[in-house]
Structures are given as structure tokens and as C-alpha cells.
Amino acid sequence: MPQPLIECVPNFSEARRPEIVEDITNTIAAVKGINILDRHSDFDHNRTVITFVGSPEAVEEAAFQGIARAAELIDLDKHSGEHPRIGATDVVPFVPIAGASIEDCIQVARRLGQRVGEQLDIPVYLYEAAASRPDRRNLEDIRRGEYESLKEEITSDPNREPDFGPLKVGPAGATVIGARPFLIAFNVFLTTDDVSIAEEIARAVRHSSGGLRYVKALGMQVDGRAQVSMNLTNYQKTPVSRVVELIRREAERYGVTIHHSELVGLIPQAALEDAAVWYLQLDEFGHNQVLERKLYTVQQDSADGVSEIGGDGLLNALAEATPTPGGGSASAYAAAMAAALILMVARLTIGKNQYLEVEEEMLAVVEQVERIKSQLVKAVSADAAAFQAVMESFRLPKTTPEEKKLRSDRIQAATLQAAQVPLEVAEQSVKLLGFAQIVVQRGNLNAISDAGSAAALGGAALTGAALNVRINAAGLRDQQVASDLLAKISLLESQGADLQNQIRSQLFQRGEFGAG
């Protein structure tokens, strides 16, 4: 029976300091058994949403560690943003995904709430399915008046007494924790900067003021545009297409249209398919007509539950007209493929009578290259996240001298990180070239072309990573730091070139490749 899987989608009141967001993300990711699926930061909202999954125990621990770290790094007395909030970690919902029920998530929410209240001294309110009383089911009711009002009222108003934790609010504010079904966070931008229009449309759309069932909506201004910010709490009963069309009709009343929309976090494939069916009028459509769904089913049937169907996800993402993931992520992936080929050759050598004298050496190769491969797989997303942080830094406000300085400092910090990630990939690529040389020289001769392919991929990864180091170093204000980065990458390029030349010579000496 598969292990129960639940999702956690904590919202942190920070987006304008990428290094803080990165710190919190790394804290969550460090918990064993956790997989981070998505991270979305919005500068105008000054809010970051992180989506991760794992077993109930792992997710509960990761959520606690994230809340604890956010409490250390975020001071709500110095925080401002368009989105309502009452805490550094504002809201922490748990969602059943597979092999788990909403009751399981309720128990996780209540245990976590008690632990946060007792160990971190943060007031905790339970909401949605985990709510301890009916008037606290809705998040907006708990968050009404935001942090500033809660700070004043928690000691005097009995209705503001938390479920766990103290009757006082510190700089980390309070945290709302609960359990709920899957929710789609969906924003629609209008062709106007008039926020009053967005507010009127939000009033028409949201259920609480007579709009669509299972829709919560607010009007605000983001990136210079009026935005209708929504949570769709049951996409099966109120489809995304119905919401979009109502917004479109309401917008026409004010002489505006939809400019674009955005997702915050993830969306179920079925929700997108339902929207496609509605707009294309595919009345007799069946979900099993989707190629990827069919392949997934076939793969599961033939591989005893193994559900992966290849690396198309990264390839498709690279092919999109978006700056991330880019060449740095591709270089890390190329290096990871080099590592995988080295592992293949080493394992094809181990246990063969004619290669008994190198078996211990090949076992050592496997142990070390497995670690490198794991690091490189993480670097694929780390590189994309690093460059995303650079782009987000450039979007910071620059009206006052203080804002200009903050923006400049954030750009420099993010750019340095964007150079350091590919530098690490380059370092690992050179190490892999060394291991490729070992399997070229002493690995199973029947797989020598695979060993050579590993060296070629390692060399390509080094070249791509070096280009990314150089372009980011050029954007650094500190010339000494930039010079150090360039010196390091130049040395790695030289070492890599020497290894590649040696490997090529050894390949043609040992293998039957014809004239070299």
C-alpha cells in the first residue's frame, strides 16, 4: 500500500528579500522526505507561497521548521503589502493528496497548532475543516483587520482568543493553520489601473456578496494594474472557465477587458482540461483522450506503479518563452546525465570476472558519483530559482533613495547567488570528468562509448555553467568578488580541457572508433 501523501501550502509574508525566501525554502527542503513542488513570490503582495508534499509526519515537521524560521527572519512591524496578513507565516493549510483523508490533515493541523503555540510562543487559529468553532472556518473572518488590529484586540476581545499560544502578538504575528480540499489561487489582471473597478468585479464574483459559489475574491493593484485576486475552493462545482467569463462580462460594464491571468502555485490537470472542454465545446470529450494521461496509465500498468514517463517536463519548460529554466538549469541537467552514464558503466563493470581487479575502485566511483548526481538534480531547480530572484529584485520599487539602495543591494545579492550556483555545477562537472576518465580507462569495454558520452556531456555542462558564471559576474558591483569568480571558473575550464583531451586520447586508444 502506498505511503499517505499530503500537501502543505504555507503563505509567508515576504517576497521583496529573496535571500529570506531562499532561507525559508531551504529550511523546509532540508526535512527528510519533503519534495518542494512550487514557489511563487509576488512583490506587490509581499508574499510567498511554497507548495510541498510528503508523508504526514514529514510535512508536519517541515511546516513547523518553516514557521520557526520565518518567525526569526520576518518582522511584521516593518512589513507592508497589498495582501491581507496577520503573521510572518500567515496561513498553513494541509491538503489530502493520496492515501490520506481530510481527517488526517485535521489531526496534523491541530498537532502543529499546539506545538507552534507552545514552543514558538505564536498565537494560532485553526480554520476550515480543522476549525474549533463555526465562526473560524473562513480565513477572511480570522484575518479581518490584519496584524495591526489583532495586536490591539487579542488581549481585550474574547472572540480573538487563539486556539493555541499566548494572548499576545509579537513581531511574527499569529498563524492560521487548517485543513481543506485542493484550492486554486488564481488572479486576473485588468486593462486598467483603477483598483475600484477590480473591487467592484470582486464583489460581483465572490460568493459572500452574492457571486459564484466556492469563490473568494478581492480587488487590489499589482504591478500597476487592477487585479481580481481569487481563491477557487471547489473547481469541480465552480469551474475556472465560469469564473473567467463572469469577470469578462463584468469588466465590459466598465469599459475594460482582461489583460492576463496568473496561477499562484499549482493547479490540477483536470481543472485545465475542463476549461479546454468548455472553450472548445468538446461535448463528448473523455479525459482518457489526453495523450499524457493515456501514457501515464500504460506506464503504470506495465511498470507496477512506476509513474514517470521521461524528462519531457524539463524539456518543455526549457522550450517555453520564459527566462527560467535556462542554460544554467540545462547545464546542471547535462552534468546529471553525465553522472548517470558514469554510474551505468561502473555498475556494468562490477561483478564481471574480467574486471575483478577494479571492482573496489568502481564501487568507490558509484558511491561518490551518486552523491554528485543528487546535488546536480537539485541544482537544476536551484539555478532557475536563483535567476528568478534576480528578476524579482529588478522589480523592487526605486522611488526613494532608501528604496533605490535596498533594490541595488538585493540585485547584487541575487546576482552573486546566480553566479555561485553554476560555479558549483562547473566544479561538479570537472569532478565528473575525472570519474569519466576512470571508467574510460578501466570500465567495461563493452560500454566505453557510454563512458565517452558521459565525458562529452560533462564537458558541455562545464562550458554552459562557465558561461552563466561569467555573465552574472559581469553584473557584480564588487570587482574583487567578480575577479575571484572569474579566476575560479578559468581554472576549472583549464582543468576540464586537460581532462577532455586526455579522455579523447584514451578513448581512441582503448576503443575501436576508427581514426581519431
Instruction: Provide the 10 A C-beta neighbour count for residue 82.
Output: 18
All three cell numbers of 448: 566505453
CA 187 to chain centroid, in Å, comes to 18
Any catalytic annotation for residue 45? Answer: no
Query: Residue 285 burial by CB count (10 A; 0-12/13-18/19+): exposed, middle or buried?
Result: middle
At residue 59, the 3 state secondary structure works out as helix
Tell me the C-alpha distance between 499 and 319, whole Å: 31
CA 231 to chain centroid, in Å, comes to 19
The terminus-to-terminus CA distance of the chain in angstroms comes to 54
Q: How far is the CA of 445 from the CAs of 247, 367, 369, 458, 508, in angstroms?
A: 65, 21, 20, 20, 12
**Strand-pair partners of 6:** 54, 96
Q: Is the separation of the CB atoms in 261 and 254 below 8 Å? A: no
Catalytic residue among 44, 90, 163, 383: 383
Q: Is the separation of the CB atoms in 232 and 186 below 8 Å? A: yes
Any catalytic annotation for residue 207? Answer: no
Tell me the C-alpha distance between 144 and 86, whole Å: 9
All three cell numbers of 212: 459564484
Amino acid present at 434: G
Tell me the C-alpha distance between 192 and 199, whole Å: 12
Catalytic residue among 44, 83, 90, 450: 83
Q: Which residues contact 401 (CB under 8 A, 6 or more apart)?
A: none
CA 455 to chain centroid, in Å, comes to 31
In the 8-state DSSP scheme, what is residue 207?
G
Q: Which residues contact 309 (CB under 8 A, 6 or more apart)?
A: 292, 295, 296, 299
What is the set of active-site residues?
83, 383
